[in-house]
Structure 1
């Protein structure tokens, strides 16, 4: 009987360690996935900072078509569209496109645009020098705006990629921005 109790105790301890290990692994998955996506270009994530553009090497022998798609997250009331749906570019050439937004509500809303690129490998070669997606975009009730995005496609883009899509999804972050402001200055109310 004593031997059976010892075995049960060891089994319970092993199971507790397995559960703790699985819980820790679950927490580690998100940062590991982000690192994996950054290294491989999977998931179409683009850089969140401006790239430096140096004029010079434009590959005029190649033409790449870039398509722009926009959508708003569920519950986001803004009208949001690409003013240029599709553009043909030469790798290394600086291009600017514009996006239109309109807030039909009678109150200010703060939005954040999140880009993704398909095929995901092309995200590694899309360099934005200016983008509305770098910052949150406040827009008062009834206001509209034209938001530019300047970009170039790296000349190292694989030869088999002739076409890729950039999608921007617009999210309402008004509540998050207000919470962040209160955290930064607790005397605001």
Structure 2
């Protein structure tokens, strides 16, 4: 290879390296400028008193805000009475006897049961309502009456009732009494004959 060609090849190589270095510098500067744009933008908006949120920020703000239950009728109250008159060899009662709720309001009440006998027992509860037309408007999402339970001697349980009153409840119904009949299931555990706890509704 002649000296002239060798010199030309070296010159082209230097030019290519120089161009590559310049392009790398431009890329780095552009990346740094783009990164600096966010705090710079926020600083300018803060200095000028401008409060502009991006779409994602608006969505996050909306998701973090508490969602109001528009189905709750806050203009109306309904008194709920919880009745549990035990007539058997066990203890059974609600944690509270009375609550005032709004139609559509989700509410949880605990019931407490204790097997005070010295034998195993199996039992299940059946709900009843007063007045009777309230049943169609009393929705239970969770209730111990959905299942049968077996309790050991002396065992205690706490069971939730999660419910809401339908806003379509007739306006003249202002009090609902929730009662239970708690049956001991025959032929299970050590039980020979079925017994019952009759929970009569309170007089309104």
Q: Give the structure-2-normalised TM-score.
A: 0.57
Question: Alignment partner for residue 145 of structure 2, among 133, 146, 152?
Answer: 133
| 1:158 and 2:184 aligned | no
Match of 1:86 in 2: 98
| SS state at 1:91 partner | coil
Equivalent pair of 2:121/2:188 in contact (CA under 8 Å): no
RMSD value over aligned CA atoms? 1.9
| SS state at 2:136 partner | helix
Query: Distance in 1 between the 2:70 and 2:149 partners?
Result: 33
**Segment of structure 1 superposing worse, 169-178 or 136-145:** 169-178
| 1:100 and 2:112 aligned | yes
Query: Distance in 1 between the 2:74 and 2:126 partners?
Result: 30
| SS state at 2:119 partner | coil
Cα deviation, residue 176, structure 1: 5.8
| SS state at 1:123 partner | helix
Residues 26-70 of structure 1 deviation map (CA, whole Å, 9 limit, x = unaligned) = xxxxxxxxxxxxxxxxxxxxxxxxxxxxx5410000000000101
| SS state at 2:84 partner | strand
Equivalent pair of 1:67/1:86 in contact (CA under 8 Å): yes
Cα deviation, residue 164, structure 1: 1.2
The structure, 1 or 2, with the larger RCO (C-alpha pairs under 8 Å, 6+ apart) is 1
| 1:58 and 2:93 aligned | no
Match of 2:180 in 1: 168
Query: Distance in 2 between the 1:58 and 1:177 partners?
Result: 44
Residues 139-168 of structure 1 deviation map (CA, whole Å, 9 limit, x = unaligned) = 110010111100000010000011010101
Equivalent pair of 1:109/1:174 in contact (CA under 8 Å): no
Give the gaps of 5 or more residues in structure 1: 1-54, 179-189
Equivalent pair of 1:71/1:169 in contact (CA under 8 Å): no
Equivalent pair of 1:70/1:81 in contact (CA under 8 Å): yes
Q: Give the structure-1-normalised TM-score.
A: 0.61
Moved over 2 A (4+): none
Match of 2:123 in 1: 111
Q: Aligned pairs, how many?
A: 123
